[in-house]
A and B are shown apart, each in its own frame.
Chain A
Amino acid sequence: MNWFRGSWAVLQKDLRLEMRSRYALNMLLMFVLSSLLLIAFSVGKEAVSERMQTALLWIVILFSASIGLGRSFVAEEEQGTVLLLQLNVPGSQVFAGKLIFNLILLLAVDVVGLGVFAILLNMPIENWGLLALTLLLGSVALAGATTLLAAIIARATNKGPLLPVLLFPLLVPLLLSVVRASRSALDGGLGFPGATEDLQTIALFAGVVITAAVLLFDYVWTD
């Protein structure tokens, strides 16, 4: 029980700070909105194929994750609260709290991104359940990878645009699977039967990434 209480405390702290400043959330949503509008303007009235739509949607989600979620540990470093956290909460609980917080932010990005994208590009969504499940599983995997890498870049001297460089090569297997699974949820897709293998891959990827991240996190977090 203590483990959950510690993680919950970290999550609660992050949520409360976020509610006060709304910096991460606003930045993420503005990034999603502006990049989606850029896509919509540059595509114009031309019909975009379903495969292309899912690819663009997921690329926007990946980029916003790599830009917005990097702050979670950098902020601790900037505010000088790292030592306090290290003393009070074991590493795995810090990781769990931050992971859930990042997941919440990502789900907000998913909802807003999908809604705006569906309207702007006329996404023909057939199977809402499948699309929601793909977005959820994909976001869990994405949050797992991003949380560990955010802890890594908080340790770097030049933080700048390091997170996308570290993140994207690792996420290619995930990207390929989520794009295919989302494609199955659109008009002309195969629905659940066509996406089971991809969903299994995404779930497995999420499990492996989060397990590895939990095991490796202590080496990054403690000096």
Chain B
Amino acid sequence: MPNEPYSSVDSTFIHLLGGPVVSLKRYLIVRNIVIFWMTCVILAAFLLPIPKINILEHTARNLYFHVPMWFTMMAAVFVSAWHSFQVLKTGDLVPDIRALQAARVGAFFGILGLLTGIVWSKFTWYVGTDVWWNFDPRQSMVSLQLLIYGAYFVLRSALDDPDKRARISAVYNLFSATTTPFLLYVIPRQMESLHPGAEGNPAFSEITHPVMRLVFYPAIIGFIGLFWVVYSQRVRVALLKYRVTRDPEL
């Protein structure tokens, strides 16, 4: 009976935490779909022809990776804030584990997006200069979101009692979510952007060929699916660790 250990683990969670938390069956189905989907996306991203775009040339393929990483991070920020809200509403520990892991995985995707963006701009617009960092609005916004998550992790490590940690870090997570929307309004008026749609830059639809959208939209779905796989896996591991050591931090 290969399913035996899993079902016994699940039943322990049901007793411990008042309900089934993560369905292993759903996780396995989604994981296999995501593996297949991302393989297709990556093959298509490198093999399909793309139109010739000035300056960008073949680096335009980075669109399939760089932009979906941003979208994934935004999704993770929403997931994390939502579960922090649930912590305050229910006082439960499970949403706290979810909020933390969504923030961790989201921060990871944010760092990936930041790095791909920096390398991309360095070898296209800034080739021949020494500029690595150019205070692009989106670059600044994501670095601030990473700072906020850094502060969130530091705050968590400064709180000992699990219940108190869940509640107070949820407050900080939600409080930071109320101030970040101002960045969307304040920063673009102060800094120039390299991104499409900003003043003087062509809109996204003008520079993308239908072929590129054929890969780009599935790539967004694939990356968000990848986020879900990593995130829910980490949630399960954190719950196991909580069961053994009474400490859900990974």
Contacts and interface: CB of A to CB of B under 8 A. Distances in A.
Interface of A: 145, 148-149, 152-153, 155-159, 162, 165-166, 168-174, 176-177, 180, 197, 201, 204-205, 208-209, 212-213, 216, 219-220, 223
Interface stretch (B15-23, B110-118, B147-155, B218-226): B147-155
22 contacts: A149-B175, A157-B159, A158-B158, A166-B151, A166-B155, A166-B172, A170-B148, A170-B175, A171-B179, A172-B183, A173-B180, A173-B185, A176-B187, A176-B190, A197-B189, A208-B178, A209-B178, A212-B175, A216-B175, A219-B88, A219-B167, A220-B168
Contacts of A212: 174-175, 178
A209 to B, nearest CB: 7
Interface SS, B side: helix
Given A156-B159, A208-B178, A212-B178, A219 B170 contact: yes
A212 B189 CA distance: 25
A223 B168 CA distance: 10
Interface in B135-169: 144, 147-148, 150-151, 154-155, 158-160, 164, 167-168
B176 A170 contact: yes
Given A157-B159, A209-B178, A152 B186 contact: no
Interface residues of B, number: 30
Contacts of A145: 175, 179
Contacts, number: 90
Nearest to A212: B178
A155 B148 CA distance: 19
Interface of B: 88, 144, 147-148, 150-151, 154-155, 158-160, 164, 167-168, 170-172, 174-176, 178-180, 182-183, 185-187, 189-190
B82 to A, nearest CB: 15
B155 A152 contact: yes
Given A204-B182, A219-B171, A223-B164, 7 more contacts: A148-B175, A158-B158, A165-B154, A208-B182, A209-B179, A216-B175, A219-B170
